[in-house]
């Protein structure tokens, strides 16, 4: 994969995918309902997330933002968890003219940090916190993990392979991305999403 290919993937998939997902879930709207807490208490779920105070301490979101995110998550996933098939169906709505299932598979795996075949609200919000409000290093680490398909700590591509050993390490990936103004600008687009 050349550097231009990486830029395209970073810009198109991560930004468009997440911004569209946030819009679809109604999370980019400024008008919050006053009864969100009541709705959360009345909803019966198969999985109830950790306490909001704990998630607030672990993420870069306020309690109110977490409530809004939870409401959107529950609208799409009433059981409180998303399996890969449901994730692919939601993701496919944003790319109706092509087959995005393979990329959705890799994206799902990046969210599924426990590697148990499901994404809970906590998984979703932790990744979203990194992508929207994390440091450049955190965002690049998350992106690297997305492309480390077999989770061996390497990306098997040549362009960013600084020491020419046939694999790209996390450090090589971060260094290459930080040297590329287009990639750095694309990462900054997240800062004003929510």
pLDDT of residue 59: 92
For 82, list phi and psi in degrees, rounded to 5.
-120, 130
pTM higher than the cut 0.95: no
**Alpha helix segments (H runs only) across 14-149:** 17-24, 36-42, 52-58, 63-76, 84-92, 101-111, 121-133, 136-147
The answer to whether 36 and 68 are in contact (CB under 8 A) is yes
Which SS3 state, helix, strand or coil, does residue 32 take?
coil
pLDDT of residue 140: 92
Using alpha carbons, list the distances in angstroms from residue 59 to 11, 52, 71, 125, 177. 23, 10, 17, 8, 24
Q: What's the average model confidence in pLDDT over 148-177?
A: 82
Any idea which residue has 């709505």 for tokens? 93
pLDDT in tens, 111-162: 998 889 999 989 989 999 998 899 999 999 998 988 888 888 888 766 776 7
pLDDT in tens, 32-89: 344 444 444 444 445 556 678 888 999 999 989 998 888 888 887 888 888 999 888 8
Which SS3 state, helix, strand or coil, does residue 168 take?
strand
Using alpha carbons, list the distances in angstroms from residue 170 to 91, 122, 141, 157, 181. 27, 25, 7, 12, 18
Please give the full DSSP string across 116-138, using - where no structure is assigned. SSEEEHHHHHHHHHHHHHS-HHH
Q: What's the average model confidence in pLDDT over 174-193?
A: 80
Q: What's the average model confidence in pLDDT over 2-14?
A: 43
pLDDT of residue 2: 42
- Is it the case that residue 26 has pLDDT exceeding 60? no
Of the segments 1-5, 77-81, 168-172, which one has the largest average pLDDT value? 168-172
The answer to whether 176 and 162 are in contact (CB under 8 A) is yes
Q: Is the dihedral of CA 73, 135, 106, 92 positive or negative?
A: positive
Burial tier of 65 (Cβ tally within 10 Å: 0-12, 13-18, 19+)? buried
pLDDT of residue 185: 83
H or E segment and range at residue 7: helix 3-8
């Amino acid at each position: 994969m050349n550097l231009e290919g990486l830029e395209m993937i970073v810009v198109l998939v991560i930004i468009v995918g997440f911004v569209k997902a946030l819009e679809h879930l109604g999370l980019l709207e400024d008008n919050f309902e006053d009864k969100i807490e009541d709705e959360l208490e009345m909803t019966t779920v198969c999985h109830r997330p950790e306490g909001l105070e704990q998630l607030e301490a672990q993420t870069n979101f306020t309690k109110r933002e977490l409530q809004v995110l939870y409401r959107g998550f529950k609208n799409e996933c009433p059981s409180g968890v998303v399996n890969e098939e449901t994730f692919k169906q939601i993701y496919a709505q944003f790319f109706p003219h092509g087959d995005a299932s393979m990329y959705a598979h890799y994206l799902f795996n990046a969210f599924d940090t426990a590697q148990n075949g499901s994404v809970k609200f906590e998984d979703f919000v932790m990744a979203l916190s990194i992508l929207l409000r994390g440091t450049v290093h955190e965002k690049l680490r998350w992106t690297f993990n997305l492309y480390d398909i077999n989770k061996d700590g390497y990306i098997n591509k040549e362009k960013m392979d600084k020491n020419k050993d046939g694999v790209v390490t996390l450090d090589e990936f971060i260094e290459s991305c930080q040297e590329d103004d287009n990639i750095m600008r694309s990462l900054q687009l997240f800062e004003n999403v929510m």
